[in-house]
Amino acid sequence: MKILGIETSCDETGIAIYDSTVKKILNKVYSQKIHSKYGGVVPELASRNHLKKILPLIKSLLNEKNISKYDINCIAYTAGPGLFGSLVIGACISKSLSYSLNIPLIPINHLEGHLLSPIIDKIINFPFIGLIISGGHTQIIKVNNIGNYNILGESIDDSVGEAFDKVARLLGIEYPGGRKLSMLAKYGVNNKYKFPRPLIKNKKYNFSFSGLKTFVSNIIKNIKNIDYQEKCNIAKEFENSVIDILLSKSISALKNNNINNLVISGGVSANTEIRKNFNNLGKKNNIKIWFPKLYLSKDNGAMIAYVGYLKYIKYFKKNKNLIKNNLYINSRWDLELSELLYKKIK
């Protein structure tokens, strides 16, 4: 079967088709550039851009791959969490398409998309510990099975991606600065600075990154005429601090739950140094480390299409009485927002 996945939770319009017969993904992402000059995503501009791009993107994917819209068997879309206006665009287009083509519609939690993105092309045994590090969220989750999750901890303030972007901005890098900051860090010298590692000693699994950002901000304010090398040194120590925190929380979650499978996903999981450090941790401690393919790290429709397929197998196939648009999934953050969304757009 062919599942169309639609992702519009933030500033990426992601369209994909997962073909379960050949286990193949066709994927297209449009990343909105307009926000860079504002230093962050402007919600109104994001929704307007989704509206402009979403149908042309769907049409071009179908045309390029010679697929008719009548070949699509099901639609999965991001129902939340995310920017409300952006989500509404994806929801409206998905609902209209599902209604006109008379095919099931499955709302997907964006974080579940990230969480399961590495299993699109790999077999990973349950249970595993999932670490989601994205622009909007930082969560550590015990994944017992598909749809059966225990959130062990999350950020109590900024997400990791947000911290990367804010520190990047302090160093004069355009939004989203995470990737460019990590490129500066490559040329940074270790131990030129010592930044805090918030909550690293706390036994719980929560994270806090806003104090770290403020600490960096104060350091930068006290440097007169900051030069390129100094920027690299700051970026290096910031990245080191984030990595230490992520490694430490992940190790304790693995140990305390007696699990030796760790999945790291979300936009920040594209970071080379993070991948290197987690892979080393895995080798040293005999832990299996899994990352999504790079193009699946950032927001995309492929992960939504794939999770849609998993939900379809689990719910629709078994229960023919389930009416479309009325799929309930067992997890805390599932569908809270999508239900709100239904009420708004019905």
Name the site residues for ligand KG4 (rule: CB under 6 A): 10, 134-136, 161, 164-165, 176, 178-179, 182, 266-268, 270-271, 298-299
Q: Whose Cβ is closer to Zn ion: residue 112's or residue 299's?
A: 299
Torsional class of 39: left (φ above 0), alpha (ψ -120 to 50), beta (otherwise): left
DSSP, res 315: I
Q: Could you tell me how far CA 125 lies from the centroid of its own chain?
A: 21
Contact 311, 106 (CB under 8 A): yes
* Position with the least CB separation from ligand KG4: 267
Cα 169 to Cα 236: distance, rounded to the nearest angstrom: 15
Q: How far is the CB of 18 from Zn ion (least distance, A)?
A: 18
Q: Which residues contact 182 (CB under 8 A, 6 or more apart)?
A: 164, 235, 239, 271, 272, 273
Contact flag: residue 299 with Zn ion (CB under 5 A)? yes
What single-letter amino acid sits at 86? S
164 binds, among Zn ion, ligand KG4, none (CB under 5 to 8 A by kind): ligand KG4
Distance, in Å, from the CA atom of 199 to the CA atom of 249, rounded to the nearest integer, reads 9
Distance in Å, CB of 209 to ligand KG4, minimum = 11
**Tokens 């901005």 map to which residue?**
169
**Out of ligand KG4, Zn ion, none, which partner does residue 113 contact, by CB within 5 to 8 A per kind?**
none
Task: Between 31 and 285, name the residue whose CB sits nearer to ligand KG4.
Answer: 31
| Cα dihedral 164→264→237→34 (10° resolution) | -20
Would you call 160 helix, strand, or coil by DSSP?
helix
In the complex, minimum distance from the CB of residue 91 to ligand KG4, in angstroms, rounded to a whole number: 17
- Is residue 134 a contact residue for Zn ion (CB under 5 A)? yes
Written as one string, the DSSP assignment of 76-92 is EEEEESS-HHHHHHHHH
Total residues binding Zn ion (CB under 5 A): 2
Minimum CB distance to ligand KG4, residue 82 (Å):
8
Partner in contact with 271, chosen from ligand KG4, Zn ion, none, beta carbon below 5 to 8 Å by kind: ligand KG4
Which residue, 186 or 255, has its beta carbon nearer to ligand KG4?
A: 186
| 201 neighbors 249 (Cβ within 8 angstroms) | no
Q: HSE on the CB side for 191, CA within 13 Å? A: 0
Tell me how far, at minimum, the Cβ of 244 lies from ligand KG4, in Å: 15
The partner in contact with residue 241, picked from ligand KG4, Zn ion, none with C-beta cut-offs of 5 to 8 angstroms by kind, is: none
Fill in the amino acid letter for 64. E
Q: Which stretch binds Zn ion (CB under 5 A): 74-82, 118-126, 170-178, 293-301?
A: 293-301
Out of Zn ion, ligand KG4, none, what residue 291 binds, judged by CB under 5 to 8 A for its kind, is none
Compare residues 49 and 271 and give the one whose CB is closer to ligand KG4. 271
Min CB(271)–ligand KG4 separation in Å: 3
Least spacing, CB of residue 61 vs ligand KG4, in Å: 19
Q: Phi and psi (nearest 5°) for 331?
A: -170, 160
Instruction: Give me the residues that bind Zn ion (CB under 5 A), please.
Output: 134, 299
